Amino acid sequence: MKNGGNGNIPSPTSPSEEESGQVRILSVEHDAEDVDLTHAKIDKLENFERLICVKSLCLRRNSITKLEGLSTLTTLDELDVYDNQITQIEGLDNLTNLTILDLSFNLIKAIENLGCLTKVKKLFLVSNKISKIEGLQNLTQLEMVELGANKIRVLEGFEGLTQVHSLFVGKNKITKLENLSCLTNLKLLSIQSNRIIKLEGLDSLVNLEELYISHNGIEEIEGLDNLTNLTTLDLASNRIKRIKNVSHLVNLEEFWFNDNQLDSWEDLDQFKTCTKLQTIYLERNPIWQDTAYRRKVKLALPAVTQIDATLCA
pLDDT digits (tens, 9 = 90+) for 253-298: 999 999 999 999 999 999 999 999 999 999 999 999 999 999 999 9
Q: Which of 4-13, 53-62, 139-148, 251-260 comes out lowest in average pLDDT?
A: 4-13
Q: What is the pLDDT of residue 23?
A: 81
Which pLDDT value is given to residue 22?
80
Residue 288: strand, helix, or coil: helix
Instruction: With a cut of 60, say whether residue 1 has pLDDT above it.
Output: no
CA gap 182, 142 in Å, rounded? 13
Question: Percentage of residues in the chain with pLDDT exceeding 70?
Answer: 94
- pLDDT, tens digit, 9 for 90 and up, residues 108-128: 999 999 999 999 999 999 999
pLDDT at 222: 98
With a cut of 60, say whether residue 241 has pLDDT above it: yes
**Nearest CA among 166, 108, 111 for reference residue 134:** 111
In angstroms, the CA 259 to CA 245 distance is 19
pLDDT of residue 12 exceeding 80, the answer is: no
Residue 267, helix vs strand vs coil = helix
Residue 14 has pLDDT above 60, yes or no: no
Cα 171 to Cα 150: distance, rounded to the nearest angstrom: 7
Q: Select the more confidently predicted residue: 64 or 8.
A: 64
pLDDT score, position 52: 94
Quick count: other Cβ atoms within 10 Å of Cβ 183?
A: 23
Phi, psi (rounded to 5 degrees) for 256: -105, 115
Element (H, E) at 295: helix 293-300
Please provide the average confidence, as pLDDT, over all residues in the chain: 94
Q: Are strands 34-36 and 100-102 parallel, antiparallel or unpaired?
A: unpaired
pLDDT exceeds cutoff 50 at 38 = yes
Residue 4: the pLDDT is 42
Instruction: List the one residue out of 112, 102, 113, 62 whose CA is nearest residue 85.
Output: 62
Mean pLDDT confidence for 176-196: 98
Do 100 and 77 contact (CB within 8 A), yes or no?
A: yes
Q: Which helix (H) or strand (E) holds 17?
A: helix 15-18
Q: How far apart are the first and last CA of the chain?
A: 69
What is the model's pLDDT at position 199? 98
How far apart CA 277 and CA 306 sit, in angstroms, is 10
Of the pLDDT bands very low, low, confident and very high (cuts 50, 70, 90), residue 19 is: low
Banded pLDDT at 2 (limits 50, 70, 90): very low
pLDDT of residue 6: 44
Residue 9 clears pLDDT 60, i.e. is over it: no
Given a contact cutoff of 8 angstroms between Cβ atoms, the answer to whether 144 and 164 are in contact is yes
pLDDT tens digit string along 43-90? Answer: 999 999 999 999 999 999 999 999 999 999 999 999 999 999 999 999
